[in-house]
Amino acid sequence: MSLESKSIFQMEKEIADLRELLRSKEQELRVLKECEGSKTHLSVEKLSKDDIERFSRQIIIPSIGVKGQQLMKGASVLIVGAGGLGCPAAQYLTGSGIGHIGLVDYDEVDRSNLHRQLLHSQENIGVSKVSSAAEALRRLNSNVRISEHSLQLDSSNALNIVQQYDVVIDATDNVATRYLLNDACVISGKPLVSGSALRLEGQLTVYNHHQGPCYRCIFPKPPPPETVTNCGDGGVLGAVPGVIGVLQALEAIKIVLGWTGVLSGQLLLFSGEQSTFRNIRLRAKNPSCDVCGDHPLITKLIDYEQFCGAKATDKESGLSLLKQEQRVSPETLHRSFICKNEGIVIDVRDSEEFNMCALPNSINIPLKKLEEVTTIQKIKEILDSRKKNEENFPVYVLCRRGNDSQRAVLKLEQSLGNENVAVCDLEGGLHAWARAIDSSFPIY
C-alpha cells in the first residue's frame, strides 16, 4: 500500500502498535537486567494460579505481560494518608496486585470522611483509618501484604518507614508533611507520587523520579500558612480526590513497570467542573536545590512544622488570641443568650456553612465582611435597636471551632469601641457547643 493511500486511521494504529511493542521490549529489557542481578531495586515474583486468573485482563496487555505482573507482585508502595486520595489509590494498587502496601495515618474515621474515603464504612466511624482501610483491602485481595503504620509521620520515623518501600504516594493534606515526605524520599532515593484535591480541582505530579525535580526544586519556600486551605475548610466533591487518587495509583504502577511516560517534571491539572485535564511543564531539577541539588544543605530531616509555620495535622489548632475574660463557655452562652435572651450572637462562618446549621436567632456575618464599613454600620444599627441604654451589652461571636471567632472579636473591638458593648467569643466554637449543650447539633 502506498503512503498516500494509507488512511490516517491506519497510520495511527500502526504507530500505536509500534509504541506498544517498544514498551513491551523496554519491559523485557528491564526484567532481563533484573534477572541478571543488575542494581535495580525491584524484585520479580512467580505468579500463582490465583494471580493468573485474577490478573489475566492486565497480563494480556502486551506492555505488561507476565513479567510486568511479576514486577508488580514484587513491588512495595507506601501510601501516606488513608483519606480522600489514599483510599482510591490503595484500592487500585491492591486490586492490581502490588505485592506489599504500607498505609500511614494517625487519624480515626469521621462521619464527614465517608462521602469520599470509600474504603471506610459507617460501622468504622471512630476506628483507626489505617486498620479500617487495611481491613477493606484484605477483603479485596488477601494475597497482598498490608503493613499498618497507625501513626503521625514525622522527622523521627519517616526515613525508617520510607526506606522499606519502592515508591511513595503522598496522599496527605498539609504542607509540613509534603516537605517531610519530599526530603525523606530524596534522602532515601525513592520516587514520590504527589496528589492534591480541593473543591472541584485536583493536581498530580511525580517528584524525585530519575532526573526530574523534587518538591523543593519547584517550591523552595513554604507558602504563608494563611494562604493554605484544606478540605475541612474549603470543602471537596467526593469524586474529585477519587480521580486523582486513582491516577496516583496509575503513576505508581508505571514507575514499578519502568515505563517512560511517568508524570515527572509536569503537573497535571484536573478541573472537575469543566471535565478537563491540562499538563503544564514544571521547572527542571534545580542544581542548587537545598535537598536534591549538587551541594545539599539538608542531609537529614528537619522540624517541618517550624519550617512551614503550620502544623502537620488538621487537628484543632487551639489558637489563643484573646484574654480569658473575652471568652465565654458554651454553658454561659446558653444561660445568657438562649435562656435569658441577653445580647446578640454573630456567627462569622461563610453563608454555606451557616445555612447548613446555626444557633437560633444568630446573625450571619462572614469574617471577611467585617472589613467593610457598611457591615459595621449594619451591626451598629442592630445594636441601636436591641441594646437601648444597657451598659456592656453582650455581643457573642462564634464560628465552627473557635479560631475565626477570636480574630473577629479583635476586629469588632476596634470598630465598636465606642458602643458600650462587651464583645466575647464562644470558646471552642460550635464544636464545643455541640459537645456541651446540644448533642443533636452537627459536628462537621
Ligand X SMILES: Nc1ncnc2c1ncn2[C@@H]1O[C@H](COP(=O)(O)OP(=O)(O)OP(=O)(O)O)[C@@H](O)[C@H]1O
Q: Which among 87, 185, 308, 399 is annotated as catalytic? A: 399
- Measured between alpha carbons, how far is 103 from 150 in angstroms, rounded to an integer? 8
Choose the stretch contacting Zn ion; rule: CB under 5 A; options: 52-60, 88-96, 142-150, 207-215: 207-215
Q: Is 131 in the site for ligand X (CB under 6 A)?
A: no
Choose the stretch contacting ligand X; rule: CB under 6 A; options: 213-221, 308-316, 348-356, 422-430: 308-316
Q: What minimum distance in Å lies between the beta carbon of 207 and Zn ion?
A: 8
Place of cell 446573625: 363
Contact with ligand X (CB under 6 A) among 65, 74, 83, 222: 83
Q: Is 185 in the site for Zn ion (CB under 5 A)?
A: no
- Measured between alpha carbons, how far is 234 from 315 in angstroms, rounded to an integer? 15
User: Which residues contact residue 151 at a Cβ distance below 8 angstroms, ignoring those fewer than 6 apart?
Assistant: 104, 106, 157
Q: What minimum distance in Å lies between the beta carbon of 19 and Zn ion?
A: 31
- Measured between alpha carbons, how far is 178 from 174 in angstroms, rounded to an integer? 7
Number of CB atoms found within 10 A of residue 107's CB: 17
Choose the stretch contacting ligand X; rule: CB under 6 A; options: 3-11, 60-68, 104-112, 321-329: 104-112
Instruction: Give DSSP secondary structure letters for 163-231.
Output: TT-SEEEE----HHHHHHHHHHHHHHT--EEEEEEEBTEEEEEEESSTT---HHHH-SSPPPGGG---H
The closest of 133, 115, 116 to 124, measured between CA atoms, is: 133
**Cβ-closest residue to ligand X?**
83
312 or 346: whose CB is closer to ligand X?
312
The Cα angle at residue 320 between residues 317 and 321, in degrees rounded to 5: 130
Of residues 225-254, which lie at the interface with ligand X (CB under 6 A)? 230-232
Residue 70 interface partner, choices ligand X, Zn ion, none, CB cut-off 5-8 Å depending on type: none
Choose the stretch contacting Zn ion; rule: CB under 5 A; options: 79-87, 116-124, 289-297, 339-347: 289-297
Distances (CA, A) of 169 to 70, 112, 221, 329: 21, 23, 22, 42
Q: Which residues are annotated binding-site positions? A: 84, 105, 112-116, 129, 173-174, 214, 217, 289, 292
DSSP code at position 100: E
Q: Is 353 in the site for ligand X (CB under 6 A)?
A: no
Q: Is 312 in the site for ligand X (CB under 6 A)?
A: yes
Contact with ligand X (CB under 6 A) among 177, 182, 264, 362: 177
Build a one-symbol-per-residue string for 7-46: x at contacts with Zn ion by CB under 5 A, - elsewhere: ----------------------------------------
Q: Is 135 in the site for ligand X (CB under 6 A)?
A: no
Our separate counts of H helices and E strands in the chain read 16, 13
Residue 87 falls in the annotated catalytic set: no
Q: Which among 87, 231, 308, 424 is annotated as catalytic? A: 231
Region of 37 please: left (phi>0), alpha (psi -120 to 50) or beta.
Answer: left
Q: Is 316 in the site for ligand X (CB under 6 A)?
A: no
Q: Is 202 in the site for ligand X (CB under 6 A)?
A: no
Q: What minimum distance in Å lies between the beta carbon of 126 and ligand X?
A: 14
Contact with ligand X (CB under 6 A) among 94, 96, 113, 264: 113
Q: What minimum distance in Å lies between the beta carbon of 286 and Zn ion?
A: 6
Which of helix, strand or coil describes residue 126? coil
Q: Is 198 in the site for Zn ion (CB under 5 A)?
A: no
First to last CA, the chain: 66
Distances (CA, A) of 129 to 119, 149, 403: 9, 10, 26
Beta strands in 43-144 (DSSP E): 76-80, 100-104
Q: What minimum distance in Å lies between the beta carbon of 132 and ligand X?
A: 11
Residues that bind ligand X (CB under 6 A): 81-84, 104-107, 112-113, 129, 152-153, 172-174, 177, 230-232, 312-314
Catalytic residue numbers, as ranges: 231, 399
